[in-house]
Amino acid sequence: MLKPLWEYIFKHKLGEVAFFCLKKSSSLYNHYFRFCHIPNTIKELTSYGLTYIKDPYKFKPDITFVADYNYHFVEGLGVIVNIGHGTISKGLYYLNNKRSKRENISDLICVPGTIHKRYLQQVMYKPIEVTGMPKLDKIFIYSKNKTKELLKLKLDPNKYTVLFAPTFNKELSILTFIQDKIRKYVPKDYNLIIKLHGAVDIELKNKIKKIAEISKNTYFAKQNDISVFFN
């Protein structure tokens, strides 16, 4: 969700981009990052040209972008802009409740469309801008050849293809019900591309990965950007 943002900043030479991770000594570290392997995250982000900083207060940013409501981690770090994440399909985000009102802690919030802005304006007094959802742009403008892409994944381009990309929330995800039995519910003569959310329980993730490795017409996606699979 943040990648299109820093790519734009780099392209137009708008400034330096840096990131930081919570320290393991933080009381909230295990709660928020129990599924995240921090060394791998740091390695991946620095490969894009971002600067890793241990103390954001020494870096003194003018603007801090967040993709969730974790304002208590970035207080005092310049202007706080919340760009959101996902498509927020649950709808709770746009109701008159505490979840929505907390966004007033930010200095600016970005939303996908005008209807989202209209609902949030009922509970927010801070600026709201309609920006679309940049991370989804590639889905609509992708021009790569579908046949070639499927062949790269060792899948038959003549078969129907199913993309299985569930969320991680146990109360919302279909994973809660099917666990590692996904191949049972998809016809054997269909291609199946599996892309799990980064916060899916690691044990379940490994089980599903093993199922994919021994199943025909199945690909387990490791990459974060899966826009090509929507082609």
Can you give the residue range of the structural domain that contains 183? 142-230
Total of domains in the chain? 2
71, 102, 136: which is the final residue of a domain?
Answer: 136
What rounded mean pLDDT belongs to the chain? 83
The model's pTM: 0.76
- CA distances from residue 1 to 7, 49, 85, 104, 145 in whole angstroms, order as listed: 11, 16, 6, 21, 25
Instruction: Name the residue with higher pLDDT: 143 or 187.
Output: 187
Mean pLDDT for the stretch of residues 162-176:
84
Say what percent of the chain tops pLDDT 70: 88
73, 104, 136: which is the final residue of a domain?
Answer: 136
Instruction: State how far the Cα of 120 lies from the Cα of 46, in Å rounded to an integer.
Output: 35
Write out pLDDT tens, residues 20-44.
877 655 555 555 555 455 677 788 8
Q: Do 60 and 96 fall within a single domain?
A: yes
> Which residue's entry shows tokens 């802009």?
81
Write out pLDDT tens, residues 103-159.
888 999 998 889 889 988 988 899 999 988 887 787 777 667 888 888 988 999 999
66, 101, 136: which is the final residue of a domain?
Answer: 136
What tokens does 124 get? 């927010």
Handedness of CA 136, 141, 143, 146 (dihedral sign): positive
Write out pLDDT tens, residues 39-72.
777 888 888 888 999 889 999 999 999 887 778 8
Q: Is the pLDDT of residue 196 over 50?
A: yes
